[in-house]
Amino acid sequence: MKKMIIQEYKKNWIDDFKKIKKEVEKSLSGVDVEIEHVGSTSIPDLAAKPIIDIDIVYGANVNFEDIKCRLEKLGYCHLGNQGIKEREVFKRWKSTQKHKVLDFINHHLYVCPVHSEELQRHIMFRDFLVKHKIERQQYEEIKHDIANEANQDQKIYARLKEVKAREFVDSIIKRAREDK
Q: What average pLDDT does this structure show over 145-155?
A: 93
Q: What is the pLDDT of residues 23-43, one digit of tens each?
A: 999 999 999 999 999 999 999
Tell me the DSSP string of 112-123: EETT-HHHHHHH
- The whole-angstrom separation of Cα 90 and Cα 80 is 8
Tell me, yes or no, whether 3 lies in a domain.
no
CATH number at residue 93: 3.30.460.10
In a domain, 97, yes or no: yes
Question: CB–CB of 93/76 below 8 Å?
Answer: yes
Q: What is the tally of structural domains in the chain?
A: 1
Q: Could you read off the pLDDT of 64-90 as tens digits, one per residue?
A: 999 999 999 999 999 999 999 999 999
Query: Whole-structure pTM over 0.85, yes or no?
Result: yes
Q: So what's the pLDDT on residue 37?
A: 98
Evaluate whether residue 4 is within a structural domain.
Answer: no
Domain-located, residue 25: yes
Greater model confidence, 2 or 126: 126
Strand order in the sheet with 76-78: 33-38, 52-58, 107-113, 88-92, 76-78
pLDDT tens-digit series, residues 95-135: 778 999 999 999 999 999 999 999 999 999 999 999 999 99
- Taking CA atoms, 127 is separated from 15, 54, 133, 136, 161, in Å, by 19, 15, 11, 11, 20
* pLDDT, the chain, mean: 95
Domain that holds residue 144: 12-179
* Res 46 pLDDT > 70: yes
Q: Which residues pair with 33 in a beta bridge?
A: 58
> Is 138 inside a domain boundary?
yes
